[in-house]
Amino acid sequence: MELWFLAIILFFYGTINLIRLFFNCLERLSGRKNKLELQNIVDSLQDIKEIIESGLVPPDEKWMRLGSFQEPWGGLIQTTLSELRSQGAPVLPTVDRIKKLAQENIYFILNSQSKTAQALVQSLCCLFMTMLVGGGLYILMPGLEFYLTYWTIACFFSLFISSLGVFWLVSMSETASWGGVHLEYRSWILFSQCSGERLIAYIRSGMTPELAWCKSYSILLKENKRFAQVWGQSVWSEKEHHISKQKNKIDTTIVFVIKEMVKAFKKSIHLSLMDGSPCIEKIESALEVVAKEIKIQTEKEVSLLSSRALKPLFICVAPALMGLLIFGIYLNLVDLKI
């Protein structure tokens, strides 16, 4: 009796954890927290811009609030704007670029969320379908009431197999919303853009490109060490961060685009030092190209999600439902023979 009681407690505990994990995946996929954070950043930067354009000086509370956002936004805004203010350089161009970057990320989240909604609906339907089939067969087949224990165990096992397919489908949706980027490389997308904006702000403040690059590296080393290896300690360093061959092609494509962006930054600075031409416009162009490439890759992955979603449905959900049906027919036949 004690073992049955312990088994029931562990079962409900595991079920609650699975449900909590599922809703955590949905919340992470919806990007609700990120959207609120980005919207607060846009509103704060808009307030700063309106105060400066009106001829007034923003109070210290406004500047301090900009550094309270999550990384890398808080560090990006605080370090770049503080450096510009201390050098007496214009602040509004950098404020506009950071605000535009935050607005593009909001659009990125909303676009991915709308295109992955179908996969989320499919995952929810899979769970309800398993429970509906189990209850429906129990009503339609009278012989199952004599094997209630076996049928209950079979229903929970079928629900477990279907849940694996659901989590697989949700994971595929989340990966597609990030353009197919592996989890350990997803932060590179935002850090690459923020680092580019920081580099532009430092150069506009009057720093030499070499010093601006080294200062960006020192800050990036505290924020993301792996991407700091790609960025490089010096603008003259050509060390590359090697990607494991075990990673899939999509990961390599995204990382390759980001690495090419860093190389473009360095080439722009090299040309600027050799012929004296400004490098800010070339760095801005490289940032725009990377943003377009990431957008194209994301749209491609999301468009393929509807066909890729069939894999967890056929591997997990369909065998669970067919197995439940066959087991129900078997129990019903056994009852008729008896």
Both 58 and 5 in one domain: the answer is no
> Helical H runs in 181-248?
186-204, 209-223, 225-231
Is 23 a member of any domain? yes
Q: What is the pLDDT of residue 33?
A: 65
Both 36 and 26 in one domain: the answer is no
Is 323 a member of any domain? no
Calpha distance 280→188 (Å, rounded) = 21
Q: What is the pLDDT of residue 249?
A: 44
Which pLDDT tens digit goes with each residue over 290-315? 888 888 888 888 888 878 888 888 88
Which pLDDT tens digit goes with each residue over 119-132? 667 767 777 788 78
Q: What is the pLDDT of residue 316?
A: 86
Is 240 a member of any domain? no
Both 57 and 100 in one domain: the answer is yes
Reference 315, options 180, 171, 174, 164; nearest CA is: 164
Q: What is the pLDDT of residue 274?
A: 81
Both 45 and 20 in one domain: the answer is no
Calpha distance 275→273 (Å, rounded) = 6
Instruction: Summarize the chain as % helix, strand, coil (round to 5).
Output: 85, 0, 15
Calpha distance 179→130 (Å, rounded) = 31
Structural domain of 77: 32-115
Both 16 and 52 in one domain: the answer is no
Q: What is the pLDDT of residue 251?
A: 47
Is 76 a member of any domain? yes
Both 25 and 36 in one domain: the answer is no
Both 65 and 106 in one domain: the answer is yes
Which pLDDT tens digit goes with each residue over 191-207? 888 888 888 888 887 88
Calpha distance 334→338 (Å, rounded) = 6
Both 78 and 53 in one domain: the answer is yes
Calpha distance 17→122 (Å, rounded) = 21
Residue 101, amino acid: L
Regions of the chain where pLDDT drops below 70:
1-33, 87, 89, 112-113, 115-116, 119-120, 123, 238-252, 335-338
Reference 186, options 159, 224, 217, 222; nearest CA is: 224
> Is 249:260 a contact under the CB 8 Å cutoff?
no
Bond prior to 142 in cis (omega within 30° of 0): no
- The helix (run of H) or strand (run of E) holding residue 321 is helix 318-337
Both 52 and 24 in one domain: the answer is no
Q: What is the pLDDT of residue 232?
A: 86
Calpha distance 299→92 (Å, rounded) = 32
Going from the C-alpha of 84 to that of each of 13, 90, 107, 147, the distances in angstroms are 54, 7, 28, 76
Q: What is the pLDDT of residue 55?
A: 81
Residue 283, amino acid: I
Residue 182 CA to its chain's centroid (Å): 9
Is 16 a member of any domain? yes
Both 74 and 110 in one domain: the answer is yes
End residue of a domain, out of 115, 134, 150: 115
End residue of a domain, out of 64, 92, 115: 115
Both 13 and 75 in one domain: the answer is no
Calpha distance 299→179 (Å, rounded) = 7
Calpha distance 34→39 (Å, rounded) = 8
pTM for the whole structure: 0.69
End residue of a domain, out of 115, 149, 172: 115
Number of domains in the chain: 2
> Is 161:100 a contact under the CB 8 Å cutoff?
no
Both 16 and 60 in one domain: the answer is no
Is 171 a member of any domain? no
Is 88 a member of any domain? yes
Going from the C-alpha of 131 to that of each of 98, 119, 128, 251, 320, the distances in angstroms are 48, 19, 5, 37, 11
Is 279 a member of any domain? no
